[in-house]
Amino acid sequence: MRAMTLPNPPWPIRFGIFEISPRTGELRKQGLKVKLGQQACKLLLLLLERPGETRTREELRQQLWPSTFVDFEHRLSIGHVEMEN
C-alpha cells in the first residue's frame, strides 16, 4: 500500500460547484465557505487525489489513521455525513 500523498497545489482544486484549497483545507461552494472538519477534508482530498477510482475502506483507514486505533466505520461515516452537508 502506498503512503498518503495528498494533492498540494498552490491553487484550489475545483470540482463541480465546489473548490477546496489543499493548503488551508478551506472548502467553498459557489464561492461561499462551507464548514468541513479536518478528517472530512482529508477524506475529500484523498478521493480527489484519484478521481473516478474506487478506494477501499482499508486503504482509507490506513491513510487517514495509520497508527491509531479508531472506530473506523464510525469515523468514516462522520466524514461522509460532513461532506454531504
Taking the chain (85 residues) in consecutive chunks of 10 residues, what is each chunk's mean pLDDT?
51 91 92 90 89 88 75 64 64
| Confidence (pTM) | 0.67
Residue 4's pLDDT is what?
45
CATH code for residues 13-84: 1.10.10.10
Rounded CA separation 41/47 (Å)? 10
Sign of torsion, CA 67 57 51 54? positive
SS3 for the chain is CCCCCCCCCCCCEEECCEEECCCCCCEEECCEEECCCHHHHHHHHHHHHCCCCCCCHHHHHHHHCCCCCCCHHHHHHHHHHHHHC
Residue 1's pLDDT is what?
39
C-alpha cell at 37: 472538519
